[in-house]
């Protein structure tokens, strides 16, 4: 990953998020949302790179539910890499899922190493998105796919105060751009067949239900594990989260794209030379 914003998650915060979103997941939707990000693309037998692999839930889903050949997860937090590695081993998938701690900067892989570059709600932590998507293009094989879900901001200046309030409440220095911004970035990186999907309406419904559970059935669990103050703090953040979704300040989305096949890249290069 490249020029990572503050993305540190404590063991307690990880536990809270997994209680809300399920073991292995630090963002909403679980294995079903992983499948939706894949968008029907068949990853059976393919080599997958998961950028910002976190607690590892998506990687187990790739192999268990979708038949991925190999998965390499990368994260800047050693604690996540250790946790996800243990979970892969416990699931009996340690021979097909591996993890690496990486530093901000170029991805530590050769050109054309993967069939799929995937990320679920992690690129919000990356400041230099142009550099990251350029690296994703580099490590993909010709014809490979970029499959990303991310937490994004709404378009326009009108929502900027609400975006700023959400980022401050989250406490992680999120670097937020819009779905259209991502489209422009990955187009400049060289991708084609770009597909965009706005997921705000879906997550507004999910987050509203999550807030109801936090205020109701889930609150005693929070209080028991982390105390009354932690439970109240989580509820207050979820109120900000729901408000941000309601106003359009927060607007999660999916992005899918393809690295052109080698022959297509050559044809484009010849066209460019012909125009000189």
Confidence class of residue 270 from pLDDT cuts 50, 70 and 90? very low
Instruction: Supply the DSSP symbol for 263.
Output: H
Residue 257: how many CB atoms within 10 A of its CB?
Answer: 26
Q: Is the pLDDT assigned to residue 262 strictly greater than 60?
A: yes
Q: How high does pLDDT run on average in the chain?
A: 93
Question: Following DSSP, what letter does each residue of 178-208 receive, concatenated?
Answer: -HHHHHHHHHHHT-EEEEEEE-HHHHHHHHH
Q: Give the whole-angstrom CA distance, residue 67 versus residue 77.
A: 27
Between helix 228-247 and helix 200-215 the angle, nearest 10°, is 160
Q: Give the whole-angstrom CA distance, residue 126 versus residue 257.
A: 19
- Structure tokens belonging to residue 268: 């484009």
Say how far residue 49 (Cα) sits from the centre of its chain.
Answer: 12
**CA geometry: angle at 252 spanning 248 and 253, to 5°?**
120
Residues 6+ apart with CB under 8 A from 108: 100, 102
pLDDT tens-digit readout, 8-45: 788 999 999 999 999 999 999 999 999 999 999 999 99
User: What's the mean pLDDT in 118-141?
Assistant: 97
For domain 11-151+173-204+251-269, give the CATH number: 3.40.50.150
Place of tokens 């899922």: 97
Closest CA to 133 of 176, 70, 183: 183
pTM: 0.92
Q: Give the whole-angstrom CA distance, residue 219 versus residue 211.
A: 10
Residues 6+ apart with CB under 8 A from 205: none
pLDDT tens-digit readout, 184-204: 999 999 999 999 999 999 999
Q: Are strands 97-101 and 70-75 parallel, antiparallel or unpaired?
A: parallel
Contact of 35 with 66, CB cutoff 8 Å: yes
pLDDT tens-digit readout, 72-92: 999 999 999 999 999 999 999
Q: Give the whole-angstrom CA distance, residue 68 versus residue 115.
A: 10
Contact of 106 with 3, CB cutoff 8 Å: no
Question: Following DSSP, what letter does each residue of 25-61 receive, concatenated?
Answer: -SSTTHHHHHHHHHTT---BT-EEEEET-TTSHHHHH
Predicted local distance difference test score (pLDDT) of residue 4: 44
Q: Give the whole-angstrom CA distance, residue 240 versus residue 40.
A: 33
Contact of 255 with 189, CB cutoff 8 Å: no
Residues 6+ apart with CB under 8 A from 1: 51, 52, 74, 76, 102, 104, 107, 122, 125, 126, 132
């Amino acid at each position: 990953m490249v020029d990572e914003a503050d993305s540190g998650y404590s063991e307690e915060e990880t536990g809270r998020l997994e209680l809300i979103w399920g073991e292995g997941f630090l963002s909403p939707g679980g294995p079903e949302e992983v499948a939706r990000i894949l968008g029907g693309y068949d990853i059976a037998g393919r080599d997958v790179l998961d950028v910002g692999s976190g607690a590892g839930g998506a990687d187990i889903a790739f192999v268990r539910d979708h038949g991925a050949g190999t998965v390499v997860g990368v994260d800047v937090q050693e604690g996540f890499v250790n946790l996800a590695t243990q979970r892969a081993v416990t699931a009996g998938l340690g021979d097909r899922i591996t993890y690496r701690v990486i530093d901000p900067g170029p991805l530590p892989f050769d050109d054309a190493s993967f069939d799929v570059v995937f990320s679920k709600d992690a690129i919000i932590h990356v400041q230099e998105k142009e550099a990251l998507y350029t690296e994703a293009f580099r490590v993909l094989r010709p014809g490979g796919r970029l499959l990303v879900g991310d937490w994004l901001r709404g378009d326009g200046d009108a929502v900027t105060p609400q975006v700023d309030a959400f980022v401050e409440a989250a406490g992680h220095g999120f670097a937020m751009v819009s779905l259209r911004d991502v489209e422009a970035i990955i187009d400049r990186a060289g991708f084609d067949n770009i597909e965009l999907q706005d997921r705000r309406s879906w997550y507004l419904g999910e987050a509203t239900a999550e807030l109801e559970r936090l205020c109701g059935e889930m609150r005693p669990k929070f209080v028991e594990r982390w105390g009354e103050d932690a439970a109240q703090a989580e509820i207050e953040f979820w109120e900000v989260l729901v408000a941000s979704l309601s106003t359009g300040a927060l607007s999660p989305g999916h992005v899918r794209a393809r690295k052109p096949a080698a022959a297509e890249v050559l044809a484009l290069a010849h066209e460019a030379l012909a125009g000189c």
